[in-house]
Amino acid sequence: MPLPPAPYRAEATPKTPSILLDPGGTLSISGCSIPEDADRVFAPVFDAVEAYSAQPADRTTVRIALSYFNSSSAKQLLDLLKALEDLHASGRSKVELEWCHGPGDLDMKEAGRDYRSLLEFPVRLVELPD
């Protein structure tokens, strides 16, 4: 039996989010995502999700808690979530998105609603405390 994939971790910078994919079933993306080259930032995450999808946990929780993201990051996030939607549709892992937003942050709350309307797995909007 092949070994489970290794965890993937990218530390946050002033322009890129912290990203952690734990083979136990958690993908966390937090901070600010305004990179000049979102493709370069997210390419290794796609690779990690692909490896994870070969041997996923029974449940996969995606927790996104961004303070801000630009349009190129929005596209990368959607593509990443669509890859996880494929995993969910396969029945190999029950995927759920927790879209976190600060109190009163109507823009981020609306972004979560937008993603929910585009995805075929459960999306919970989670208001974070101050």
| Alpha-carbon span 89 to 19, nearest angstrom | 24
**Residues in CB range of 95: below 8 A, 6 or more apart:** 59, 60, 61, 62, 84, 85, 87, 88, 121, 122
- What six digits make up the tokens of 97? 């998105």
pLDDT of residue 2: 62
| Alpha-carbon span 125 to 105, nearest angstrom | 12
| Alpha-carbon span 5 to 88, nearest angstrom | 18
Mean pLDDT of the chain: 95
* CA angle (96, 128, 83) in 5-degree steps: 25
| Alpha-carbon span 129 to 124, nearest angstrom | 16
Each residue of 35-71: pLDDT tens digit? 999 999 999 999 999 999 999 999 999 999 999 999 9
Spans of all domains in the chain: 8-127
| Among the listed residues 16, 104, 10, the one whose alpha carbon sits nearest the alpha carbon of residue 68 | 16
Residues 102-121 have a mean pLDDT of 96
Q: At 5, is the pLDDT very low, low, confident or very high (cuts 50, 70, 90)?
A: confident
Q: At 9, is the pLDDT very low, low, confident or very high (cuts 50, 70, 90)?
A: very high
Each residue of 79-111: pLDDT tens digit? 999 999 999 999 999 999 999 999 999 999 999
| Alpha-carbon span 33 to 42, nearest angstrom | 10
Q: Give the class (CATH, top level) of 8-127.
A: alpha beta
Q: At 6, is the pLDDT very low, low, confident or very high (cuts 50, 70, 90)?
A: confident
